[in-house]
Homo-oligomer: A and B are copies of this chain.
Amino acid sequence: MMVKLFFFIFLFHLTFIRSKTKHYKMKIITVQAPVNIAVIKYWGKKDENLIIPLNDSISGTLSMDHLCATTSIAFSNEFDSNRMWLNGVEVKIDDNKRLVRCIENVRKLAESTVGWPSNHYIRICSRNNFPTAAGLASSAAGYACLCYALCKLFEINDPYIISSLARLGSGSACRSIYGGIVRWIAGYDHQTSIARQVITENEWPEIRIFVCVVSDHRKDTSSTSGMQLSCQTSSLIKYRAENVVPDHCDQIQKAINERNFDKFAEITMKDSNQFHAICQDTYPPIRYMNDTSWSIVNLIHFINHSFGHNVACYTFDAGPNACIYCLDNHAPILIKSIRRMYQKNDGTELEIKGITYQTDQIVIDQKINDYIDSRKQNAEDLKYIISTRLGSGPKILTNQFDSNCLLLDNGLPKN
């Protein structure tokens, strides 16, 4: 029913945008788009080409104050070619199949509406405001930003269409088109596999998120090849997708609607654990969580056990970094506990980027203190924490070649 509804909206939109056509010489747009961190995980595709996932997934969109991608796109008959720069380095568009697919799909839509003259080329310049080495969901923010910017440039405004186009770049990018908490409905084809908002960031403003950036120089297995291998070799992945994830989605949506953090945390942890179980059930096995990741898992469970209910939960993407969800009232105790666990011998505190908390007056329960003392970790194994909250979906920064724009009016990147 829901799927049919989206399809009709899509058809309606196509008809609507077909009715207007424009021509112009030069356009410019600069957009910011957020990172999202899944609480119900996307792992495995039904369709590799269209990036149709095995199961629905649900994520929180992080505030762009602390993590975001910024992309400027200029379109003009004064350029002689399509070119792109990512974090200061030129990348060959044609070498990246997914990038080409996104641009070509927007072009097809644009041609039939506002037009894409054959003598016009685009210039793209994109940057992240967070370290790419952090192993965070940079491709989600990046493709959401690119597709949102391209669509807005060509006056394609339907979020479902933008979401499905972003999906063609990187599956989880389709979720970064909305703020708050977002569900990607697996669907069965390009039009039906789209994300939609569950709640806005203002509907559960107490949520806090800590991204614990774990030192890790290598990522042995990319997400794309990892999920392919899981689909081919795990005897449990299909059972998970068909029998467990639907329950997880239902339960967590109910918990979100009821603002039941205890249950939200339980399902989040269970789903993260099961995703990594599927990785381990892959052949050869895939492993993203290391000893540091596990030290955080165990600490969170110990703290929750001490409180008698879940005051925090962890979730791990395809990497060793822990993402901790909690409510604002427990943020200081969590920050203080993790800092103590990773304190350097000289007393230097772990760096917190983003939202800071006053923790001087916070007293950690003796049992938790004893636990931390007995499991002290190497300080250098945790680099820093990005402390943030839920945030909005993408936004347009400017339509001018001004200080917010990453491109010069000759179509080359600044610096």
| A residues at B contact (CB < 8 Å) | 220, 235-236, 239-240, 243-244, 266, 269-270, 273-274, 276-278, 280-285, 287, 290-291, 294, 297-298, 301
Q: Report the minimal beta-carbon distance from A335 to chain B, rounded to whole angstroms.
A: 22
Cα distance A281–B273 in the bound complex, in angstroms? 5
Chain B residue nearest to A298 in the complex (CB):
B220
With a cutoff of 8 Å between Cβ atoms, the chain B residues found around residue A287 in the complex are 294, 297
Cα distance A274–B283 in the bound complex, in angstroms? 10
On whether A283 and B273 interact (CB within 8 A), knowing A236-B239, A240-B236, A244-B235, the answer reads yes
With a cutoff of 8 Å between Cβ atoms, the chain B residues found around residue A239 in the complex are 236, 239
- Contact, CB under 8 Å: B285 / A273: yes
Interface centre among A220, A274, A281, by most chain B C-beta atoms within 10 angstroms, is A281
A-B contact pairs, 10 of them (CB 8 A): A220-B298, A235-B243, A236-B236, A236-B239, A236-B244, A273-B283, A274-B280, A277-B281, A280-B280, A287-B297
On whether A281 and B274 interact (CB within 8 A), knowing A235-B244, A236-B236, A291-B290, the answer reads yes
Cα distance A235–B242 in the bound complex, in angstroms? 12
- Identical subunits present: 2
With a cutoff of 8 Å between Cβ atoms, the chain B residues found around residue A282 in the complex are 273
Cα distance A240–B274 in the bound complex, in angstroms? 14
Cα distance A96–B236 in the bound complex, in angstroms? 37
Cα distance A273–B285 in the bound complex, in angstroms? 7
Chain B residue nearest to A273 in the complex (CB):
B285
- A291 is contacted by which of B270, B273, B281, B291 (Cβ under 8 Å)? B291
Chain B residue nearest to A284 in the complex (CB):
B301
On whether A236 and B277 interact (CB within 8 A), knowing A283-B269, A297-B285, A301-B284, the answer reads yes
Q: Report the minimal beta-carbon distance from A199 to chain B, rounded to whole angstroms.
A: 25
Cα distance A285–B301 in the bound complex, in angstroms? 9
- Contact, CB under 8 Å: B277 / A280: yes
8 closest Cβ pairs, A-B complex: A277-B277, A277-B281, A277-B280, A284-B301, A273-B285, A291-B291, A235-B244, A239-B239
Cα distance A266–B283 in the bound complex, in angstroms? 9
Cα distance A266–B285 in the bound complex, in angstroms? 12
- 9 further A-B contacts with Cβ under 8 Å, apart from A235-B240, A236-B244, A236-B274, are A239-B239, A269-B283, A269-B284, A269-B285, A273-B282, A273-B285, A277-B280, A285-B297, A290-B294
Chain B residue nearest to A291 in the complex (CB):
B291
Cα distance A280–B275 in the bound complex, in angstroms? 9
Cα distance A74–B240 in the bound complex, in angstroms? 54
Interface centre among A280, A287, A290, A294, by most chain B C-beta atoms within 10 angstroms, is A280
Q: Report the minimal beta-carbon distance from A230 to chain B, rounded to whole angstroms.
A: 11
